[in-house]
């Protein structure tokens, strides 16, 4: 028999598993373990512990945009591109030789193919880089990167930059004699081709979504006119970027339905492959012209 005069046994106070020195009478709604204030996370009903929140996050799929990219509120790719362009411009001012090392020159593109892309991160003057970075921020960071997701947005930007260089190459030819001034020997720099690629992508994607792009048509028209009026403007690269960006956006929008989604990245790679083939053929034909000359 129990002794009614014996003192009752004291029950141990519940403690947080992660912080055993802390008493907690609040329990996780998922695992029912005690959880201290530092380990509590708000839930639909009550609170959950950090361990349960972490395990639940592993089983949840990331939210995606309409085109299949991961939803993001921070335009990281745009920040990185702007940072690289600014850094390269600072290095250009410190060492002018850098510009000649990374600019795109058709005569050098075959032996130094990195120039097709590196030229998009160099600029000729302050106005040049300010205009391009402003356009990149307004169209890319504020709209397209959030619409496409980081990976697809980066692909559109970088491949459009290459497309601008390829069309600049296609519209140049080796000089017929040493006295002839030719685009074949003229360097081109700037992110304009890539930015125009964003313009082209925006037009196609907005059309797919049923959104208006009236302001962008006006922007493209104004820049097209300036390309013929102002000196030293590589309008050929603008055209190449615009067409490439539009082509990439057409591939992305066409493969938006889930049954076609598996073809999205192969389609993007196919656009890049077409650019490579065009450049290879151009150099082959140009070599024959030089030999005949």
Question: Which residues are catalytically annotated?
Answer: 192, 238
For the chain, how far is it from start to end, CA to CA, in angstroms?
Answer: 118
Q: Which residues contact 111 (CB under 8 A, 6 or more apart)?
A: none
Question: Residue 59 has which token pair?
Answer: 């089983």
Cα–Cα distances (Å) from 230 to 111, 170, 207, 222, 235, in that order, read 31, 22, 31, 12, 10
Exposure string of 121-156, with b = 16+ CB inside 10 Å and e = fewer, is bbbbeeebbebbbebbeebbbebbbbbbbbebbbbb
Plot region of 65 (φ>0 → left; ψ -120 to 50 → alpha; else → beta): beta
Question: What angle do helix axes 192-209 and 235-254 make, rounded to 10 degrees?
Answer: 30
Rounded (10°) CA dihedral 216, 138, 156, 105: 90
Q: How many CB atoms lie within 10 A of CB 244?
A: 29
Question: H/E element holding 40?
Answer: strand 40-42
């Amino acid at each position: 028999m129990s002794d009614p005069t014996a003192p009752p046994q004291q029950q141990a106070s519940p403690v947080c598993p992660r912080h055993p020195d802390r008493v907690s009478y609040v329990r996780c709604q998922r695992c029912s373990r005690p959880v201290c204030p530092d380990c509590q996370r708000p839930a639909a009903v009550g609170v959950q512990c950090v361990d349960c929140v972490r395990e639940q996050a592993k089983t949840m799929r990331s939210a995606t945009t309409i085109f299949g990219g991961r939803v993001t509120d921070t335009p990281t790719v745009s920040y990185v591109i702007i940072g690289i362009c600014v850094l390269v411009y600072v290095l250009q001012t410190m060492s002018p030789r850098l510009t000649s090392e990374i600019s795109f020159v058709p005569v050098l593109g075959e032996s130094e193919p990195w120039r097709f892309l590196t030229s998009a991160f160099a600029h000729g003057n302050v106005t040049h880089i300010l205009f391009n970075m402003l356009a990149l921020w307004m169209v890319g960071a504020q709209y397209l990167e959030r619409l496409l997701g980081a990976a697809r947005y980066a692909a559109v930007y970088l491949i459009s930059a290459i497309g601008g260089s390829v069309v600049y190459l296609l519209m140049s030819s080796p000089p017929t004699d040493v006295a002839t001034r030719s685009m074949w020997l003229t360097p081109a720099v700037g992110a304009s081709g890539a930015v125009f690629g964003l313009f082209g992508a925006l037009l196609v994607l907005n059309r797919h979504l049923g959104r208006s792009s009236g302001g962008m048509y006006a922007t493209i028209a104004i820049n097209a006119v300036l390309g013929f009026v102002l000196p030293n403007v590589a309008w050929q690269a603008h055209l190449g970027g615009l067409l490439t960006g539009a082509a990439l956006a057409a591939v992305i929008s066409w493969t938006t339905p889930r049954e076609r989604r598996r073809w999205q990245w192969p389609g993007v790679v196919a656009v890049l492959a077409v650019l490579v083939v065009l450049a290879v053929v151009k150099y082959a034909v140009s070599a024959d012209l030089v030999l005949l000359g």
